[in-house]
Amino acid sequence: MQKASISRLLLAGVAALALMSATAKAEDGDLTVFDWSGYEDPAFHPDYVEKHGDSPTFAFFGDEEEAFNKLRAGFSADVAHPCAQSVPKWREAGLLEPIDTSRITEWDNVLPGIKAMADFMTDASGTAWVVPFEWGNTAVTYRTDKVDEAEIQSLQAFADPKFEGRVSVGDNVDDAYALASLAIGVKDWTKLTDEQFQQASDFLRKVHKNVRLYWTDNTELSQAMAGGEVDLAWAWNETATTLQADDVPVAMKRDTDEGLSTWVCGYVLLKDAKGNKDKAYDYLNAILSPKVSEYIVTEWGYGHANAGGMGAIDEQTLTDSGYGDLASFVDKTLFQAPMPTELRQKMIAEFEKIKSGY
């Protein structure tokens, strides 16, 4: 198995900087995918490459709010990659086109837990809006040579003065409020009260005093942790997976007292897209193909949405990746499910204040 390396991460970071402003070098002028940096990896859509000879064109965004605002302002793309909590907002804003599920060959093989998420794959009327792709955790990730595991049994550690200047949290409102919600004992953020929202925000203000950097992607965080700049992070599975492959002493702790967060993302069709619709469906089918499952688990540390593909992976590989006993952490998981749009807007506004020191 080919492992990720720090050198690859560094190269990816340089490439991402070159591409973030607009569109990547056009491999396929008939299809543009608006995505997070890194997901242009051809191993995520091998059937598309096999059929069409190359990957689609990719354009990149730093977070979903940036992507939303660019699309609202007229940015043109055909397919995009939001996560569950953003799908209702994008749909309500008129950015999405319904998906014809009869054209998605693996639609019925999506993991049952993902199908059960309200207002994600389909709305109340049964209309489909997203093809799920990947899912994973945001959890405590730490340098095992610098942090004693006993010190981070609780998520309150992120606000502990002993970690001043050694913490990193994603520059991502959803992950930030997932951390804060868990820290105050909330597992269902869709029902967050005004009082709980204030408690969560107050916790993030305490964490802010310890933050060395708000990471924007795995490359940035991995470099900071490998270089000793950050010892404790609230991070995705990818960070520990890639750093462990380079023998950096980093681990992900899933069994804190308060638990962890689980997120699900997928691909949507954008309304009024100018690209080739057949190729768009080819791409959606390619990312959901079971042949992608083992690669995304072993190389990125994420779970794949295809139940058949996940089921075909050997038990030891799943266990090593943290997916061997999914039921064991469900009771301590905050699922980043779609939430009321007004609540998410309030989180976005407050998080910007917190990062600015207010």
By mean pLDDT, which of 4-13, 20-29, 68-77, 273-282 is the weakest?
Answer: 4-13
* 259 beta partners: none
**Which domains are assigned to the chain?**
6-134+264-327 (3.40.190.10), 136-261+333-355 (3.40.190.10)
Kindly give, in sequence order, each residue whose CB lies less than 8 Å from that of residue 346, ignoring residues fewer than 6 positions away: 197
Alpha carbons 242 and 250: distance in angstroms, whole number = 10
* 238 beta partners: none
Q: Between 17 and 89, where is the model more confident?
A: 89
**Is the separation of the CB atoms in 167 and 207 below 8 Å?**
yes
Tokens for 267? Answer: 């691909």
Confidence of residue 332 (pLDDT cuts 50, 70, 90): confident
Alpha carbons 51 and 106: distance in angstroms, whole number = 17
Mean pLDDT taken over the chain:
89
Task: Output the CA torsion 177→266→124→103 (10° steps).
Answer: 180
**Is the separation of the CB atoms in 332 and 259 below 8 Å?**
yes
Dihedral angle sign, alpha carbons of residues 313, 255, 156, 339: positive
In this predicted structure, the answer to whether residue 25 has a pLDDT above a threshold of 70 is no
The predicted model gives 98-107 an average pLDDT of 98
Alpha carbons 321 and 64: distance in angstroms, whole number = 26
DSSP β-ladder status, 260-270 and 131-143: antiparallel
Confidence of residue 358 (pLDDT cuts 50, 70, 90): very high
Specify the 3-state DSSP secondary structure of 239: helix
Dihedral angle sign, alpha carbons of residues 90, 42, 19, 76: negative
Residue with tokens 């795995």: 218
